[in-house]
Structure 1
Amino acid sequence: MDTQILIIASGNPGKVREFKGLLSGLPLKVKAQPEGLDVEEAGSTFTANARIKALAVAAETGEWALADDSGLSVDALGGAPGVHSARYAPSDPERIARLLQALESEDKRNACFCAALCVAAPDGTVLLEVEGQCKGWITRTPRGDQGFGYDPIFEVEGTQATFAEMSLQDKKAHGHRGRAFTLLEPRLRQLLSQQ
C-alpha cells in the first residue's frame, strides 16, 4: 500500500514545519506546496480561506492538500486584523509593531487566535473541515523567540506565557492550530484507514 501524500498548502516554512510535527504520528508523507504557487485568499472567514487554499493546491498537485487559515482577532479593534492577519503589514516584525501601536492606549487587550483546517482531494472534494480557537491577550512588548507571526505578543489565557515562549509540545496543547488539529487528527486517521 502506498503512503498517502499530503501537501501542506502554505508557503510559510514555519507553518509547514509545525504541521510536519503535528502530523508525524500519522501514516502520511508530508510535503510543502510547490514553490511559486500563490492562491488568493478571497474568503470572508477563516474556514472559507482554508477551503479555497486546500482545493486549489489539491487540484494543482494532484494530491490531498491540508490548508489552514488562521489569524488573530482583537476585541478592541473590532476583530481586526482577523482574516487579514497575514496581510496586516509586509513582515512579522511590522505586523507586531502595527498591532502594538494600534493598542498603545488600550487597556482591554483581549484577543483570540482562530485556526480553520481543511483537507481536500484533487477531484474537488472537501474531505474534512475543523476550527480551533485559543483565547488570550496582547502583551505590551514581544516575549520569546519560538514560533512566528504574532506569537511573541499573544499571551495564552491561563499560562502566563506567549506562544513564542512555549515549546512546540505546549503550543500544540494550548494553541488554536493544536486544538484544531486535535479535532482533525482522529477524523484524518479514520479517513486514512478507509483508503
Structure 2
Amino acid sequence: MTENRVLVIASGNQGKIHEFQGLLSGLPLEVKPQPEGLDVEETGATFAANARIKALAVAQTTGHWALADDSGLSVSALNGAPGVHSARYAPTDPERIEKLLAALLQCNERSAHFSAALCVAAPDGAVLLEVEGRCEGQITKTPRGDQGFGYDPIFEVNNTGRTFAEMSLAEKKSYGHRGRAFALLEPLLKNLIAVD
C-alpha cells in the first residue's frame, strides 16, 4: 500500500483547518496545517485569486500539494463589503461582528452571501483544481449560537431560521459555502489522487 499523499491546508486559522480535516477525512490524504509563521500576502481582487496565491505559495514552500480557500462575507447593503477584506475588516472575530452590525444598524436590507473559493496547487507551480461555492442568507441583528467562527453567529442561512453558529458541522457542510465548494472539489480531488 502506498503512503497517503500529504495535503497542506494553506491557512493559519485553526477553525478552518479543523473544518477541512473533517471534510477531507474520507480521502486517502495526510492533512497537515501550513508551517507556523508562514504568512502569505493576499493581494488578489477576488476570492479565487487569493485562494490561488495562497495555494501556490504554500505548495512551493512545503513541497507538497496545498489546498487554500479564500472566503468571505458580502453584504448587499454595504456594496459587497467586507468581501475579500472579511478577515481584515477588524482585528478579532468579536470586533468584526460588532463593526458589521454597527454598519447595518439603520438598515432593513440585510441580505448577504458567503463565498468560498478553493484552490489546490502543486509545488511545481501548477494549479490543479479551482472551484467556488456560495451560500445565501441574512445578517441577524444580534449574534446567535456558539459553533463555528468568524461571522457565523450573525449569518442566518436562508430558509433554515438558524445561523451557521447554531448548526452542527454536518449541517454546516451541507448548507455552507465551504461545504458546497468542497462538494464540487471532492470528486475532482479523488480523481486527481487516483491518477497520481
Question: With structure 1 as the length reference, what TM-score do the two structures score?
Answer: 1.00
Distance 2:5 2:69 in 1: 19
Q: SS of the residue aligned with 2:55?
A: helix
Runs of 4+ in 1 over 4 A off after TM superposition: none
Cα distance in 1 for residues equivalent to 2:32 and 2:23:
13
- Report % sequence identity: 73
For 1:30 and 1:2, locate their aligned partners in 2 and report how far apart those are by CA, in whole Å: 13
Q: 1:178 is paired with a residue of what secondary structure?
A: helix
Q: Distance in 2 between matches of 1:191 and 1:158?
A: 35
The CA distance in 2 between the partners of 1:5 and 1:78, in whole Å, is 39
CA distance in 1, matches of 2:164, 2:171: 9
Residue of structure 2 in register with 1:102 after alignment = 103
In structure 1, what is the equivalent of residue 23 of structure 2? 22
Alpha-carbon distance between aligned partners in 2 of 1:104 and 1:23, rounded to the nearest angstrom: 39
Aligned partner letter, 2:130: E
1:7 match: 8
Please name the residue that 1:72 is paired with.
73
Partner-residue secondary structure (3-state), 2:94: helix
| AA partner of residue 106 (structure 2) | S
Query: 1:35-92: CA deviations, max 9, x gaps?
Result: 0000000000000000000000000000000000000000000000000000000000
User: Who is 1:116 aligned against?
Assistant: 117
Distance, in Å, in 1 between the alignment partners of 2:112 and 2:100 is 12
Size of the aligned set, in residue pairs, is: 195
Q: Equivalent residue of 1:49, what SS?
A: helix
The residue number in structure 2 matching 1:56 is 57
Q: How large is the RMSD of aligned CA atoms in angstroms? A: 0.3
Query: Which position in structure 1 is the counterpart of 2:185?
Result: 184
Matched AA of 1:187? L
Aligned residue for 2:160, secondary structure, equals coil
Whole-angstrom CA distance in 2 between matches of 1:153 and 1:131:
22
- Please, what TM-score do these two structures have when normalized by structure 2? 0.99
SS in 2 for 1:21: helix
The residue type equivalent to 1:97 in the other structure is E
Alignment gaps of 5+ in structure 2: none
Report the CA distance between 1:2 and its aligned residue.
1.9
Q: Which residue of structure 2 lines up, in the alignment, with residue 34 of structure 1? A: 35
One-letter identity of the residue aligned with 2:123: P
